[in-house]
Structure 1
Amino acid sequence: MQTSISNEVESVLQSHKHKYRKRLFNYLKALPFWLLIISFIMIILGMTLSVFFSAFGTEWFGTFLPEGYTFEWMKRAWVAYDIGSYYKITLKIVGVATIISLILSIPSAYVLARKQFPFKDALIGFYQLPFTLPELVYAIPIASIFYSIGLAETIPGLIIVNLIIGIPFSVFILIPFIESLDPRLEWAAQSLGANKWRMFTRIVFPQLIPGITAAAINIFIRMFSTFIIILLISGPKTQTLPVMVFSVLSSAGNQPPPMLDALALTLMFPLLLFAFISLWLSSLTQRRLGQ
Protein backbone atom coordinates (compact mmCIF):
# COMPACT_ATOMS: atom_id res chain seq x y z
CA MET A 1 0.00 0.00 0.00
CA GLN A 2 2.74 2.42 1.00
CA THR A 3 4.75 1.39 -2.06
CA SER A 4 1.77 2.15 -4.33
CA ILE A 5 1.27 5.57 -2.73
CA SER A 6 4.96 6.42 -3.00
CA ASN A 7 4.96 5.39 -6.67
CA GLU A 8 1.98 7.65 -7.36
CA VAL A 9 3.65 10.55 -5.56
CA GLU A 10 6.86 9.97 -7.51
CA SER A 11 4.88 9.83 -10.76
CA VAL A 12 3.18 13.13 -9.96
CA LEU A 13 6.52 14.73 -9.08
CA GLN A 14 8.05 13.49 -12.33
CA SER A 15 5.09 14.86 -14.26
CA HIS A 16 5.47 18.27 -12.60
CA LYS A 17 9.22 18.25 -13.30
CA HIS A 18 8.58 17.40 -16.95
CA LYS A 19 6.03 20.23 -17.28
CA TYR A 20 8.38 22.65 -15.54
CA ARG A 21 11.29 21.71 -17.85
CA LYS A 22 9.07 22.02 -20.92
CA ARG A 23 7.82 25.42 -19.80
CA LEU A 24 11.38 26.56 -19.04
CA PHE A 25 12.53 25.32 -22.45
CA ASN A 26 9.73 27.29 -24.16
CA TYR A 27 10.70 30.43 -22.22
CA LEU A 28 14.36 30.04 -23.17
CA LYS A 29 13.39 29.36 -26.78
CA ALA A 30 11.38 32.59 -26.95
CA LEU A 31 14.00 34.62 -25.06
CA PRO A 32 16.02 35.77 -28.15
CA PHE A 33 12.81 36.97 -29.82
CA TRP A 34 11.73 38.99 -26.79
CA LEU A 35 15.23 40.39 -26.33
CA LEU A 36 15.15 41.57 -29.94
CA ILE A 37 11.71 43.18 -29.51
CA ILE A 38 12.72 44.86 -26.22
CA SER A 39 15.99 46.11 -27.75
CA PHE A 40 14.12 47.60 -30.71
CA ILE A 41 11.59 49.31 -28.42
CA MET A 42 14.38 50.66 -26.20
CA ILE A 43 16.26 52.07 -29.21
CA ILE A 44 13.14 53.82 -30.55
CA LEU A 45 12.21 55.06 -27.09
CA GLY A 46 15.78 56.23 -26.44
CA MET A 47 15.94 58.24 -29.66
CA THR A 48 12.53 59.79 -28.98
CA LEU A 49 13.48 60.76 -25.42
CA SER A 50 16.80 62.12 -26.65
CA VAL A 51 15.01 64.47 -29.05
CA PHE A 52 12.51 65.42 -26.34
CA PHE A 53 15.15 66.25 -23.70
CA SER A 54 17.27 68.12 -26.24
CA ALA A 55 14.28 70.24 -27.33
CA PHE A 56 13.35 71.20 -23.77
CA GLY A 57 16.77 71.16 -22.09
CA THR A 58 18.74 74.28 -21.20
CA GLU A 59 22.17 72.65 -21.27
CA TRP A 60 23.01 69.01 -21.88
CA PHE A 61 26.72 68.26 -22.01
CA GLY A 62 28.15 65.07 -20.51
CA THR A 63 25.26 64.44 -18.09
CA PHE A 64 22.56 61.76 -18.09
CA LEU A 65 19.79 64.38 -18.15
CA PRO A 66 19.77 68.10 -19.02
CA GLU A 67 20.71 70.50 -16.24
CA GLY A 68 17.39 72.33 -16.61
CA TYR A 69 14.30 72.61 -18.78
CA THR A 70 12.84 75.43 -20.82
CA PHE A 71 10.27 76.16 -23.54
CA GLU A 72 12.59 78.69 -25.16
CA TRP A 73 13.74 76.38 -27.98
CA MET A 74 10.15 75.51 -28.84
CA LYS A 75 9.17 79.19 -28.92
CA ARG A 76 12.14 80.09 -31.09
CA ALA A 77 11.44 77.24 -33.50
CA TRP A 78 7.75 78.18 -33.72
CA VAL A 79 8.61 81.77 -34.66
CA ALA A 80 11.68 81.12 -36.81
CA TYR A 81 10.05 78.48 -39.01
CA ASP A 82 6.53 79.95 -38.97
CA ILE A 83 5.17 76.59 -37.83
CA GLY A 84 1.68 77.96 -37.22
CA SER A 85 1.08 78.71 -40.89
CA TYR A 86 2.26 75.25 -41.93
CA TYR A 87 -0.07 73.71 -39.36
CA LYS A 88 -2.98 75.69 -40.84
CA ILE A 89 -2.18 74.58 -44.39
CA THR A 90 -1.69 70.94 -43.35
CA LEU A 91 -4.85 70.77 -41.24
CA LYS A 92 -6.86 72.47 -43.99
CA ILE A 93 -5.70 69.99 -46.63
CA VAL A 94 -5.89 66.88 -44.45
CA GLY A 95 -9.18 67.87 -42.79
CA VAL A 96 -11.00 68.42 -46.09
CA ALA A 97 -9.45 65.27 -47.58
CA THR A 98 -10.54 63.23 -44.55
CA ILE A 99 -14.17 64.38 -44.84
CA ILE A 100 -14.30 63.71 -48.60
CA SER A 101 -12.58 60.32 -48.15
CA LEU A 102 -15.21 59.24 -45.61
CA ILE A 103 -18.12 60.45 -47.75
CA LEU A 104 -16.84 58.50 -50.76
CA SER A 105 -15.56 55.42 -48.93
CA ILE A 106 -18.63 54.60 -46.77
CA PRO A 107 -20.90 53.59 -49.70
CA SER A 108 -17.98 51.88 -51.45
CA ALA A 109 -17.16 49.83 -48.35
CA TYR A 110 -20.85 48.93 -47.89
CA VAL A 111 -21.14 47.65 -51.46
CA LEU A 112 -17.91 45.63 -51.18
CA ALA A 113 -18.97 44.14 -47.84
CA ARG A 114 -22.61 43.32 -48.70
CA LYS A 115 -22.89 42.81 -52.46
CA GLN A 116 -21.64 40.26 -54.94
CA PHE A 117 -21.05 41.48 -58.49
CA PRO A 118 -18.73 40.83 -61.44
CA PHE A 119 -15.13 42.04 -61.13
CA LYS A 120 -15.49 42.59 -57.38
CA ASP A 121 -12.05 41.05 -56.76
CA ALA A 122 -10.56 43.31 -59.44
CA LEU A 123 -12.08 46.37 -57.74
CA ILE A 124 -10.69 45.27 -54.35
CA GLY A 125 -7.30 44.80 -56.00
CA PHE A 126 -7.53 48.31 -57.42
CA TYR A 127 -8.17 49.71 -53.94
CA GLN A 128 -5.12 47.80 -52.68
CA LEU A 129 -2.72 49.39 -55.18
CA PRO A 130 -1.68 52.33 -52.92
CA PHE A 131 -0.63 49.79 -50.26
CA THR A 132 1.13 47.27 -52.51
CA LEU A 133 2.98 49.64 -54.85
CA PRO A 134 5.95 51.76 -53.75
CA GLU A 135 4.84 55.36 -53.44
CA LEU A 136 7.26 56.58 -56.10
CA VAL A 137 5.68 54.27 -58.70
CA TYR A 138 2.45 56.27 -58.74
CA ALA A 139 3.75 59.55 -57.26
CA ILE A 140 5.92 60.50 -60.26
CA PRO A 141 3.21 59.96 -62.94
CA ILE A 142 0.63 61.79 -60.80
CA ALA A 143 3.02 64.70 -60.27
CA SER A 144 3.67 64.87 -64.02
CA ILE A 145 -0.07 64.94 -64.78
CA PHE A 146 -0.78 67.53 -62.09
CA TYR A 147 1.93 69.87 -63.38
CA SER A 148 0.60 69.52 -66.94
CA ILE A 149 -3.01 70.38 -65.97
CA GLY A 150 -2.14 73.08 -63.43
CA LEU A 151 -3.14 71.27 -60.21
CA ALA A 152 0.40 71.12 -58.81
CA GLU A 153 1.29 73.60 -56.04
CA THR A 154 -2.40 74.21 -55.33
CA ILE A 155 -4.58 73.35 -52.32
CA PRO A 156 -7.20 71.47 -54.45
CA GLY A 157 -4.40 69.44 -56.04
CA LEU A 158 -2.98 68.42 -52.67
CA ILE A 159 -6.47 67.47 -51.44
CA ILE A 160 -7.03 65.26 -54.51
CA VAL A 161 -3.66 63.58 -54.00
CA ASN A 162 -4.54 62.81 -50.39
CA LEU A 163 -7.79 61.19 -51.55
CA ILE A 164 -5.72 58.61 -53.44
CA ILE A 165 -4.40 57.51 -50.05
CA GLY A 166 -7.41 58.24 -47.84
CA ILE A 167 -10.22 56.51 -49.76
CA PRO A 168 -8.63 53.03 -50.09
CA PHE A 169 -7.36 53.13 -46.52
CA SER A 170 -10.81 54.10 -45.23
CA VAL A 171 -12.55 51.43 -47.31
CA PHE A 172 -10.46 48.62 -45.87
CA ILE A 173 -10.99 49.88 -42.31
CA LEU A 174 -14.77 50.09 -42.76
CA ILE A 175 -15.33 46.73 -44.49
CA PRO A 176 -14.80 44.60 -41.31
CA PHE A 177 -17.10 46.91 -39.35
CA ILE A 178 -19.85 46.55 -41.96
CA GLU A 179 -19.39 42.77 -42.16
CA SER A 180 -19.83 42.54 -38.37
CA LEU A 181 -23.30 44.18 -38.56
CA ASP A 182 -26.34 41.90 -38.43
CA PRO A 183 -27.97 42.03 -41.90
CA ARG A 184 -31.30 40.89 -40.41
CA LEU A 185 -31.83 44.40 -39.06
CA GLU A 186 -31.57 45.77 -42.59
CA TRP A 187 -33.94 43.11 -43.95
CA ALA A 188 -36.42 43.93 -41.19
CA ALA A 189 -36.27 47.65 -41.96
CA GLN A 190 -36.84 47.02 -45.68
CA SER A 191 -39.72 44.63 -44.93
CA LEU A 192 -41.38 47.42 -42.91
CA GLY A 193 -41.26 49.76 -45.90
CA ALA A 194 -38.00 51.66 -45.37
CA ASN A 195 -36.26 52.64 -48.59
CA LYS A 196 -32.53 52.10 -49.00
CA TRP A 197 -31.62 55.65 -47.99
CA ARG A 198 -33.67 55.56 -44.77
CA MET A 199 -32.45 52.03 -44.00
CA PHE A 200 -28.85 53.15 -44.40
CA THR A 201 -29.18 56.37 -42.41
CA ARG A 202 -31.37 54.93 -39.61
CA ILE A 203 -29.96 51.39 -39.26
CA VAL A 204 -26.48 51.08 -40.77
CA PHE A 205 -24.93 54.49 -40.17
CA PRO A 206 -25.55 54.70 -36.38
CA GLN A 207 -23.93 51.28 -35.92
CA LEU A 208 -20.97 52.36 -38.04
CA ILE A 209 -20.06 55.41 -35.95
CA PRO A 210 -17.18 53.60 -34.10
CA GLY A 211 -15.81 52.36 -37.43
CA ILE A 212 -16.18 55.79 -39.07
CA THR A 213 -14.38 57.39 -36.13
CA ALA A 214 -11.56 54.85 -36.32
CA ALA A 215 -11.30 55.33 -40.09
CA ALA A 216 -11.27 59.13 -39.75
CA ILE A 217 -8.44 59.11 -37.21
CA ASN A 218 -6.38 56.55 -39.12
CA ILE A 219 -6.66 58.23 -42.51
CA PHE A 220 -6.01 61.60 -40.87
CA ILE A 221 -2.73 60.24 -39.45
CA ARG A 222 -1.87 58.61 -42.76
CA MET A 223 -2.48 61.76 -44.79
CA PHE A 224 -0.91 64.07 -42.19
CA SER A 225 2.36 62.13 -42.50
CA THR A 226 2.28 61.67 -46.30
CA PHE A 227 5.58 62.89 -47.64
CA ILE A 228 6.90 61.75 -51.03
CA ILE A 229 3.93 62.56 -53.26
CA ILE A 230 3.32 65.86 -51.42
CA LEU A 231 7.00 66.76 -51.79
CA LEU A 232 6.72 66.30 -55.57
CA ILE A 233 3.68 68.53 -56.14
CA SER A 234 3.71 71.07 -53.30
CA GLY A 235 5.06 74.57 -53.83
CA PRO A 236 6.55 77.22 -51.51
CA LYS A 237 3.08 78.38 -50.43
CA THR A 238 1.49 74.92 -50.20
CA GLN A 239 4.10 72.95 -48.29
CA THR A 240 2.70 70.73 -45.56
CA LEU A 241 4.37 70.40 -42.17
CA PRO A 242 6.27 67.14 -42.94
CA VAL A 243 7.71 68.61 -46.15
CA MET A 244 8.74 71.79 -44.35
CA VAL A 245 10.41 69.84 -41.52
CA PHE A 246 12.32 67.74 -44.05
CA SER A 247 13.43 70.85 -45.95
CA VAL A 248 14.72 72.51 -42.78
CA LEU A 249 16.47 69.41 -41.43
CA SER A 250 18.12 68.64 -44.78
CA SER A 251 19.63 72.14 -44.91
CA ALA A 252 20.13 72.78 -41.21
CA GLY A 253 23.52 74.47 -41.54
CA ASN A 254 24.60 76.14 -38.30
CA GLN A 255 21.20 76.19 -36.63
CA PRO A 256 21.18 75.07 -32.98
CA PRO A 257 20.42 71.32 -32.62
CA PRO A 258 17.91 71.91 -29.77
CA MET A 259 15.87 74.18 -32.04
CA LEU A 260 15.89 71.54 -34.79
CA ASP A 261 14.77 68.92 -32.25
CA ALA A 262 11.97 71.27 -31.17
CA LEU A 263 10.93 71.52 -34.83
CA ALA A 264 10.88 67.72 -35.11
CA LEU A 265 8.66 67.49 -32.04
CA THR A 266 6.05 69.73 -33.65
CA LEU A 267 5.58 66.94 -36.18
CA MET A 268 5.92 64.05 -33.73
CA PHE A 269 3.43 65.28 -31.14
CA PRO A 270 0.24 65.24 -33.29
CA LEU A 271 1.19 61.91 -34.86
CA LEU A 272 1.78 60.28 -31.46
CA LEU A 273 -1.41 61.80 -30.06
CA PHE A 274 -3.61 60.50 -32.87
CA ALA A 275 -1.82 57.15 -32.85
CA PHE A 276 -2.69 56.67 -29.16
CA ILE A 277 -6.29 57.73 -29.81
CA SER A 278 -6.49 55.25 -32.69
CA LEU A 279 -5.17 52.40 -30.53
CA TRP A 280 -7.62 53.27 -27.76
CA LEU A 281 -10.56 53.33 -30.17
CA SER A 282 -9.49 50.02 -31.72
CA SER A 283 -9.30 48.40 -28.29
CA LEU A 284 -12.68 49.84 -27.28
CA THR A 285 -14.32 48.66 -30.50
CA GLN A 286 -12.91 45.15 -30.18
CA ARG A 287 -14.27 44.88 -26.63
CA ARG A 288 -17.73 46.04 -27.76
CA LEU A 289 -17.78 43.61 -30.67
CA GLY A 290 -16.63 40.81 -28.37
CA GLN A 291 -13.52 40.01 -30.41
Structure 2
Amino acid sequence: MLFRALVFCGYAFLLAPGVFVFAIAFSSDRFLTFPPPGLSLRWFVALWQHEGLMGAMQRSAILASVVTLLALAIGVPAAYAIARLRFPGREAVFSALTAPLLLPTLVLGLGILLVFFPFGLAATWPGLAIAHLAVTLPFVVRIMATALATLPADLEDAAATLGAPPLTVVRRVTLPLALPGLIASGALTFLISFDEVVISLFIAGPRLSTLPVAMYRYVEGNTDPLVAALAVVLIVFSLAIVLLVERLLGFMRAVGR
Protein backbone atom coordinates (compact mmCIF):
# COMPACT_ATOMS: atom_id res chain seq x y z
CA MET A 1 0.00 0.00 0.00
CA LEU A 2 2.82 2.40 0.85
CA PHE A 3 4.52 1.74 -2.48
CA ARG A 4 1.28 2.35 -4.38
CA ALA A 5 0.71 5.55 -2.46
CA LEU A 6 4.20 6.77 -3.33
CA VAL A 7 3.66 5.90 -6.98
CA PHE A 8 0.34 7.74 -6.97
CA CYS A 9 1.96 10.80 -5.40
CA GLY A 10 4.72 10.70 -8.00
CA TYR A 11 2.23 10.56 -10.88
CA ALA A 12 0.16 13.32 -9.29
CA PHE A 13 3.23 15.53 -8.97
CA LEU A 14 4.20 14.97 -12.61
CA LEU A 15 0.71 15.41 -14.04
CA ALA A 16 -0.46 18.31 -11.87
CA PRO A 17 0.85 21.02 -14.25
CA GLY A 18 -1.16 19.45 -17.05
CA VAL A 19 -4.36 19.93 -15.08
CA PHE A 20 -3.71 23.67 -14.86
CA VAL A 21 -2.88 23.83 -18.57
CA PHE A 22 -6.10 22.06 -19.52
CA ALA A 23 -8.16 24.33 -17.29
CA ILE A 24 -6.59 27.50 -18.68
CA ALA A 25 -6.94 26.28 -22.28
CA PHE A 26 -10.73 26.23 -21.92
CA SER A 27 -10.87 29.59 -20.17
CA SER A 28 -13.17 32.31 -21.44
CA ASP A 29 -10.91 35.06 -20.11
CA ARG A 30 -8.50 37.09 -22.25
CA PHE A 31 -5.63 36.54 -19.82
CA LEU A 32 -3.92 33.60 -18.14
CA THR A 33 -5.95 33.22 -14.96
CA PHE A 34 -6.65 30.27 -12.69
CA PRO A 35 -9.25 29.25 -11.91
CA PRO A 36 -10.86 30.40 -15.16
CA PRO A 37 -13.97 32.58 -14.78
CA GLY A 38 -15.79 30.50 -17.37
CA LEU A 39 -15.37 27.78 -19.97
CA SER A 40 -15.10 28.37 -23.68
CA LEU A 41 -13.62 26.94 -26.88
CA ARG A 42 -12.67 30.39 -28.17
CA TRP A 43 -8.92 29.80 -27.89
CA PHE A 44 -9.04 26.57 -29.88
CA VAL A 45 -10.90 28.46 -32.62
CA ALA A 46 -8.36 31.27 -32.40
CA LEU A 47 -5.55 28.73 -32.63
CA TRP A 48 -7.02 27.24 -35.81
CA GLN A 49 -7.22 30.74 -37.32
CA HIS A 50 -3.69 31.79 -36.28
CA GLU A 51 -1.65 31.58 -39.49
CA GLY A 52 1.72 31.93 -37.76
CA LEU A 53 1.30 29.03 -35.34
CA MET A 54 -0.49 26.83 -37.87
CA GLY A 55 2.26 27.44 -40.42
CA ALA A 56 4.90 26.64 -37.81
CA MET A 57 3.06 23.44 -36.91
CA GLN A 58 3.06 22.37 -40.55
CA ARG A 59 6.78 23.10 -40.87
CA SER A 60 7.53 21.17 -37.69
CA ALA A 61 5.53 18.16 -38.94
CA ILE A 62 7.41 18.15 -42.25
CA LEU A 63 10.76 18.58 -40.52
CA ALA A 64 10.01 15.81 -38.00
CA SER A 65 8.96 13.45 -40.81
CA VAL A 66 12.20 14.08 -42.74
CA VAL A 67 14.32 13.70 -39.61
CA THR A 68 12.54 10.45 -38.73
CA LEU A 69 13.25 8.97 -42.16
CA LEU A 70 16.90 10.03 -42.00
CA ALA A 71 17.34 8.74 -38.45
CA LEU A 72 15.88 5.36 -39.35
CA ALA A 73 17.89 5.13 -42.57
CA ILE A 74 21.13 5.76 -40.67
CA GLY A 75 20.34 4.32 -37.25
CA VAL A 76 18.89 0.94 -38.22
CA PRO A 77 21.96 -0.25 -40.23
CA ALA A 78 24.25 1.11 -37.51
CA ALA A 79 22.26 -0.69 -34.81
CA TYR A 80 22.31 -3.90 -36.86
CA ALA A 81 26.09 -3.73 -37.17
CA ILE A 82 26.46 -3.11 -33.45
CA ALA A 83 24.04 -5.87 -32.43
CA ARG A 84 25.00 -8.55 -34.95
CA LEU A 85 28.61 -7.98 -36.05
CA ARG A 86 31.82 -8.30 -34.07
CA PHE A 87 34.50 -5.85 -35.17
CA PRO A 88 37.25 -3.81 -33.49
CA GLY A 89 35.95 -0.61 -31.97
CA ARG A 90 32.32 -1.75 -31.85
CA GLU A 91 31.80 -0.37 -28.34
CA ALA A 92 33.50 2.87 -29.32
CA VAL A 93 31.16 3.29 -32.29
CA PHE A 94 28.14 2.66 -30.08
CA SER A 95 29.40 5.13 -27.48
CA ALA A 96 30.02 7.76 -30.16
CA LEU A 97 26.55 7.36 -31.67
CA THR A 98 24.83 7.61 -28.30
CA ALA A 99 27.09 10.30 -26.79
CA PRO A 100 24.60 13.16 -27.41
CA LEU A 101 22.33 11.55 -24.82
CA LEU A 102 24.89 12.43 -22.15
CA LEU A 103 25.23 16.10 -23.10
CA PRO A 104 22.91 18.86 -21.90
CA THR A 105 20.80 20.11 -24.78
CA LEU A 106 21.99 23.67 -24.19
CA VAL A 107 25.65 22.67 -24.58
CA LEU A 108 24.84 20.52 -27.61
CA GLY A 109 22.90 23.34 -29.28
CA LEU A 110 25.71 25.85 -28.74
CA GLY A 111 28.28 23.39 -30.10
CA ILE A 112 26.18 22.69 -33.18
CA LEU A 113 25.76 26.41 -33.82
CA LEU A 114 29.52 27.01 -33.59
CA VAL A 115 30.15 24.18 -36.07
CA PHE A 116 27.35 25.17 -38.46
CA PHE A 117 28.02 28.90 -38.66
CA PRO A 118 31.26 28.76 -40.73
CA PHE A 119 29.58 26.41 -43.21
CA GLY A 120 26.47 28.58 -43.62
CA LEU A 121 24.16 25.95 -42.18
CA ALA A 122 22.69 28.16 -39.45
CA ALA A 123 19.14 29.37 -40.13
CA THR A 124 18.68 26.84 -42.95
CA TRP A 125 16.43 23.83 -43.31
CA PRO A 126 19.33 21.40 -43.96
CA GLY A 127 21.11 22.69 -40.87
CA LEU A 128 17.98 22.36 -38.75
CA ALA A 129 17.41 18.81 -40.00
CA ILE A 130 21.02 17.81 -39.26
CA ALA A 131 20.80 19.37 -35.80
CA HIS A 132 17.61 17.44 -35.01
CA LEU A 133 19.24 14.31 -36.42
CA ALA A 134 22.09 14.66 -33.93
CA VAL A 135 19.53 14.57 -31.10
CA THR A 136 17.25 11.81 -32.39
CA LEU A 137 19.76 9.37 -33.91
CA PRO A 138 21.02 8.12 -30.51
CA PHE A 139 17.50 7.04 -29.55
CA VAL A 140 17.09 5.05 -32.77
CA VAL A 141 20.47 3.37 -32.34
CA ARG A 142 19.87 2.46 -28.70
CA ILE A 143 16.32 1.15 -29.19
CA MET A 144 17.08 -0.77 -32.36
CA ALA A 145 20.32 -2.23 -31.00
CA THR A 146 18.39 -3.54 -28.01
CA ALA A 147 15.57 -4.85 -30.19
CA LEU A 148 17.92 -6.58 -32.63
CA ALA A 149 20.03 -8.08 -29.83
CA THR A 150 16.96 -9.91 -28.48
CA LEU A 151 16.10 -11.52 -31.83
CA PRO A 152 17.17 -15.15 -32.30
CA ALA A 153 20.06 -15.29 -34.78
CA ASP A 154 19.10 -18.88 -35.68
CA LEU A 155 16.29 -17.65 -37.93
CA GLU A 156 18.69 -15.51 -39.95
CA ASP A 157 21.16 -18.39 -40.17
CA ALA A 158 18.41 -20.74 -41.34
CA ALA A 159 17.36 -18.33 -44.09
CA ALA A 160 20.98 -17.91 -45.17
CA THR A 161 21.59 -21.68 -45.33
CA LEU A 162 18.53 -21.99 -47.57
CA GLY A 163 20.16 -19.68 -50.10
CA ALA A 164 18.75 -16.28 -49.22
CA PRO A 165 21.16 -13.39 -49.93
CA PRO A 166 22.10 -11.16 -46.96
CA LEU A 167 19.83 -8.29 -48.06
CA THR A 168 16.93 -10.70 -48.49
CA VAL A 169 17.53 -12.10 -44.99
CA VAL A 170 17.41 -8.60 -43.55
CA ARG A 171 14.33 -7.61 -45.57
CA ARG A 172 12.31 -10.81 -45.13
CA VAL A 173 13.41 -12.02 -41.68
CA THR A 174 15.22 -9.41 -39.57
CA LEU A 175 13.14 -6.29 -40.20
CA PRO A 176 9.72 -8.01 -39.80
CA LEU A 177 10.85 -9.44 -36.45
CA ALA A 178 12.25 -6.06 -35.37
CA LEU A 179 9.14 -4.17 -36.52
CA PRO A 180 7.97 -3.30 -32.97
CA GLY A 181 11.28 -1.62 -32.19
CA LEU A 182 11.26 0.06 -35.59
CA ILE A 183 7.83 1.58 -35.01
CA ALA A 184 8.67 2.63 -31.47
CA SER A 185 11.93 4.31 -32.48
CA GLY A 186 10.21 6.04 -35.40
CA ALA A 187 7.40 7.36 -33.20
CA LEU A 188 9.83 8.53 -30.52
CA THR A 189 12.06 10.20 -33.11
CA PHE A 190 9.12 12.08 -34.60
CA LEU A 191 7.96 13.34 -31.21
CA ILE A 192 11.44 14.41 -30.12
CA SER A 193 12.06 16.31 -33.35
CA PHE A 194 8.59 17.85 -33.33
CA ASP A 195 8.99 19.10 -29.74
CA GLU A 196 12.66 20.12 -29.85
CA VAL A 197 13.00 23.73 -28.77
CA VAL A 198 16.48 24.43 -27.34
CA ILE A 199 18.51 23.36 -30.37
CA SER A 200 15.93 24.91 -32.70
CA LEU A 201 16.36 28.25 -30.92
CA PHE A 202 20.09 28.13 -31.68
CA ILE A 203 19.76 27.08 -35.32
CA ALA A 204 16.49 28.68 -36.46
CA GLY A 205 16.68 32.24 -37.76
CA PRO A 206 14.08 35.03 -37.67
CA ARG A 207 12.46 33.79 -40.89
CA LEU A 208 12.78 30.09 -40.08
CA SER A 209 10.59 29.01 -37.19
CA THR A 210 9.41 25.65 -35.93
CA LEU A 211 6.37 25.30 -33.69
CA PRO A 212 8.25 25.23 -30.33
CA VAL A 213 10.22 28.33 -31.39
CA ALA A 214 7.03 30.07 -32.50
CA MET A 215 5.42 29.24 -29.15
CA TYR A 216 8.43 30.62 -27.29
CA ARG A 217 8.33 33.85 -29.27
CA TYR A 218 4.57 34.13 -28.86
CA VAL A 219 4.62 33.99 -25.06
CA GLU A 220 7.27 36.71 -24.97
CA GLY A 221 4.67 39.29 -25.97
CA ASN A 222 1.29 37.72 -25.21
CA THR A 223 -0.46 36.61 -22.03
CA ASP A 224 -3.61 35.02 -23.44
CA PRO A 225 -4.52 31.29 -23.14
CA LEU A 226 -3.81 30.60 -26.82
CA VAL A 227 -0.55 28.83 -26.03
CA ALA A 228 -2.34 26.74 -23.38
CA ALA A 229 -4.81 25.60 -26.05
CA LEU A 230 -1.90 24.70 -28.31
CA ALA A 231 -0.24 22.82 -25.44
CA VAL A 232 -3.40 20.77 -24.95
CA VAL A 233 -3.41 19.87 -28.66
CA LEU A 234 0.23 18.78 -28.48
CA ILE A 235 -0.33 16.77 -25.30
CA VAL A 236 -3.27 14.94 -26.83
CA PHE A 237 -1.32 14.33 -30.05
CA SER A 238 1.73 12.94 -28.23
CA LEU A 239 -0.41 10.83 -25.92
CA ALA A 240 -2.31 9.42 -28.90
CA ILE A 241 0.91 8.27 -30.56
CA VAL A 242 2.20 6.65 -27.36
CA LEU A 243 -1.11 4.91 -26.71
CA LEU A 244 -1.25 3.71 -30.31
CA VAL A 245 2.19 2.12 -30.01
CA GLU A 246 1.19 0.61 -26.66
CA ARG A 247 -2.09 -0.68 -28.07
CA LEU A 248 -0.61 -2.24 -31.20
CA LEU A 249 2.71 -3.51 -29.88
CA GLY A 250 3.13 -3.03 -26.17
CA PHE A 251 5.73 -0.49 -25.11
CA MET A 252 8.21 -2.85 -23.47
CA ARG A 253 8.00 -5.23 -26.42
CA ALA A 254 8.44 -2.32 -28.80
CA VAL A 255 11.70 -1.18 -27.20
CA GLY A 256 13.02 -4.72 -27.24
CA ARG A 257 12.81 -5.87 -23.67
What TM-score comes out, normalization by structure 2 length?
0.87
Is 101-110 or 141-150 further displaced after alignment? 141-150
Q: State how 1:11-90 maps to structure 2 within 5 Å.
A: 27=1, 31=2, 34-58=4-28, 69-80=39-50, 82-90=52-60
Give the whole-Å Cα distance in 2 for the aligned partners of 1:279 and 1:132.
Answer: 27
Give the whole-Å Cα distance in 2 for the aligned partners of 1:231 and 1:67.
Answer: 35
Q: Does 1:123 align with 2:97?
A: no
Checking the alignment, whether the CA contact within 8 Å between 1:77 and 1:262 is kept in structure 2 is yes
Equivalent of 2:108 in 131, 138, 148: 138
Gaps of 5+ in 1: 1-26
Residue identity opposite 1:203 in structure 2: V
Distance 1:260 1:209, change over 3 A: closer
Q: Does 1:271 align with 2:255?
A: no
Q: State how 1:162-181 maps to structure 2 within 5 Å.
A: 162-181=132-151
Is 190-199 or 111-120 further displaced after alignment? 190-199
Instruction: State the shift of 1:144 in Å.
Output: 1.7
Give the whole-Å Cα distance in 1 for the aligned partners of 2:139 and 2:29.
Answer: 43
Residue identity opposite 2:146 in structure 1: P
Checking the alignment, whether the CA contact within 8 Å between 1:95 and 1:220 is kept in structure 2 is yes
Instruction: State the shift of 1:82 in Å.
Output: 2.3
1:14 matched to which residue of 2? none
1:231 matched to which residue of 2? 201
Checking the alignment, whether the CA contact within 8 Å between 1:241 and 1:267 is kept in structure 2 is no
Instruction: State the shift of 1:271 in Å.
Output: 2.6
Residue identity opposite 1:204 in structure 2: T
Give the whole-Å Cα distance in 1 for the aligned partners of 2:233 and 2:52.
Answer: 12
User: How many aligned positions are there?
Assistant: 254
Secondary structure in 1 aligned to 2:202? helix
Instruction: State the shift of 1:39 in Å.
Output: 2.9
1:110 matched to which residue of 2? 80
Gaps of 5+ in 2: none
Checking the alignment, whether the CA contact within 8 Å between 2:47 and 2:229 is kept in structure 1 is yes
Q: Deviations over 1:206-232 (max 9, x none)?
A: 212221111100111121221211110
1:95 matched to which residue of 2? 65
Instruction: State the shift of 1:191 in Å.
Output: 1.3
What TM-score comes out, normalization by structure 1 length?
0.78
Distance 1:138 1:49, change over 3 A: closer
Instruction: State the shift of 1:38 in Å.
Output: 2.6
Q: State how 1:276-287 maps to structure 2 within 5 Å.
A: 276-280=243-247, 283=250, 286=253
Distance 1:219 1:228, change over 3 A: same
Checking the alignment, whether the CA contact within 8 Å between 2:72 and 2:140 is kept in structure 1 is yes
Checking the alignment, whether the CA contact within 8 Å between 1:218 and 1:278 is kept in structure 2 is no
